[in-house]
Structure 1
Amino acid sequence: MKKTLLMLILVSFVISKEYEVENGKTLILTTKDTKAENIKINNRTYKWLQHPKNSNEKILIITIPYRTKPEISNNGDISIKVIEGNYKKEQIVVAQSKAKPNKENQQRIKKERDEANKIYATYTNSRFWDSPFINPMESVITSPYGSARIFNGEVNSYHSGTDFRAKIGTPIYAANSGKVVIAKDRFLAGKSIVIDHGEGIFSMYYHCSEIKVKLGDIVNKGDLIALSGNSGRVSGPHLHFGILARGAQVDPIDFIQKINTLFMDK
């Protein structure tokens, strides 16, 4: 029954052409139509890719940015409705210098953000992964994706990843194969790693105490890449794990669940 339910997430156009997805979540469509057209939602174009398991099928990975407003997009015979997710609110206390950085650190934050955005815009076109994704560690989730966050009662943002409980020094493993495109200490993310998995999919590992890889390394799924810590803007030790896919930071747990259904037997 559980397997059947999961398979309903990934459907062929023959079964249904009306879909619903929350902001911050992922929708994956499959088709055997060699002439299937790209889909456009809120001025973002999503392109068809080769199915990782079935050579006669294509997949469309649709990732909805967190701040997307509810809307309905009609693309030919396909209708996609974006709905608002039920996300919580969190009050977090951090060092005041992290909550309200000075001018010098604000410039550093901007520089690091611009650097990352440039990397995300110039991803590897080929695919590094050919098997299901894994979580970077087996631990309790202490803060889910999408929570509205208020730092020290003033700074408002949202949680762009998922936090795993992890004492300092806990091993962190690569969610899948790819190329290390960021491996450095950053103001907000602390000691952090970003892996390019190809075709616009990136995984992120923040607040580490030690980085075990270097820029440009090719890693395999399950490789040790870092140790958890409390660097950057944090209230305590943990691992922040994120996924950016097709230009949007989405719920990493939801993304992994959806992408992994591609490898299930039909």
Structure 2
Amino acid sequence: MRIFLLLFACTLIFAQDINLTKGQALFLNFEKQDLLSIQSNGKKINYFNHPKDQNTVTTIIAIPYKRPENKIIQARYKNNKTIEYKILYQEGNYQKERLQVAKSKVAPPKSVQARIKKEFQEANKIYQSYTSKALFNADFIMPLNSTITSDFGKARIFNNTLSSYHSGTDFKAAAGTPIYATNSGIVKIAKDRYYAGKSVVIDHGQGIFSQYYHLEEIKVKVGQSVKKGELIGLSGSSGRVTGPHLHFGILVNNTQVDPLDFIQKFNTLYQ
């Protein structure tokens, strides 16, 4: 009897290793019945009901581009069952690009440094206090139909100085081109910012945000609920740019991801 109790108390673990390129998203599905929690490196993370399977839940895992680290994902169930994945990050084949912009956008004067810091802190606070429930009920769409001019993840050399990596995807867009919400949600940012220019950020719930930068005109207000495909602004050349275009970004669980990769993978849930 003593040996039987010890065996019964042991945790049953199913383990698997998965390689994931930093800056990309991974969608993991788990059985819903008897699920207690899903954890990433010991911390609880969000999950949502799979849109096509009521017996399944989905969680989104992302490896940050900067300071990447491996992750242990564990789904804990009743009866001491645990399903575990070890996510191993890969560097990816990201390229470099050289850009010429105003000197003040690379080495900002002291007069604007307080503004830059405030805008950075404001955005971080928003991303860490997202809506816990899902505000979307359908797949994601592109904010416009246009040619890509700069891919996610490129190392950006501004005025011969390596300044950052490209945290989104740039689309060709003449000034005044209509920009549409990629999915339903609540507007959290609608203002002119030093680097991003006139910006709109939408909270879609479950830690998913979409970002639209360098606009000429903003058509929505903070706190406004928007529907997928609703007009939110007009493209422009505000902020740190070389010309008019749309910078489109997706952030998941406070991690910037390749928006095209994210949308392609997310939309397979609805197929």
TM-score, normalised to structure 1's length?
A: 0.88
Paired residue for 2:65?
Answer: 66
Measured on the aligned residues, the alpha-carbon RMSD in Å equals 1.9
Q: Does 1:27 align with 2:46?
A: no
Q: CA deviation at 1:73?
A: 4.1
Contact 2:18 2:87 in 1 (8 A): yes
2:144 is paired with a residue of what secondary structure?
Answer: coil
1:241 to 245, 248, 254: 248
What per-residue deviation string (whole Å, max 9, x for no partner) do you get for residues 49-77 of structure 1? 22233222100100111124464747564
1:116 is paired with a residue of what secondary structure?
Answer: helix
2:143 to 116, 132, 136: 136
Q: CA deviation at 1:48?
A: 2.9
Q: CA deviation at 1:216?
A: 1.0
What per-residue deviation string (whole Å, max 9, x for no partner) do you get for residues 226-257 of structure 1? 00000000011100000011110110000101
Matched AA of 2:50: H
TM-score, normalised to structure 2's length?
A: 0.87
Residue 38 and residue 74 in structure 1: after superposition, are their counterparts in 2 closer, same or farther (change >3 A)? closer
2:54 is paired with a residue of what secondary structure?
Answer: coil
Paired residue for 2:221?
Answer: 214
Residue 263 and residue 16 in structure 1: after superposition, are their counterparts in 2 closer, same or farther (change >3 A)? farther
Alignment of 1:161-240 (within 5 A): 161-240=168-247
Structure of greater Rg: 2
Matched AA of 1:38: I
CA distance in 1, matches of 2:86, 2:252: 21
1:233 is paired with a residue of what secondary structure?
Answer: coil
CA distance in 1, matches of 2:198, 2:51: 32
CA distance in 1, matches of 2:47, 2:206: 11
Aligned length: 249
Matched AA of 1:67: K
List alignment gaps of at least 5 residues for structure 1. Answer: 1-14
More strand by share: 2
CA distance in 2, matches of 1:165, 1:142: 6
CA distance in 1, matches of 2:71, 2:192: 41
Alignment of 1:113-132 (within 5 A): 113-132=120-139
1:38 is paired with a residue of what secondary structure?
Answer: strand
Q: Does 1:88 align with 2:95?
A: yes
List alignment gaps of at least 5 residues for structure 2. Answer: 1-13, 75-82
CA distance in 2, matches of 1:113, 1:72: 26
Identical aligned residues as a percent:
53
Residue 16 and residue 40 in structure 1: after superposition, are their counterparts in 2 closer, same or farther (change >3 A)? closer
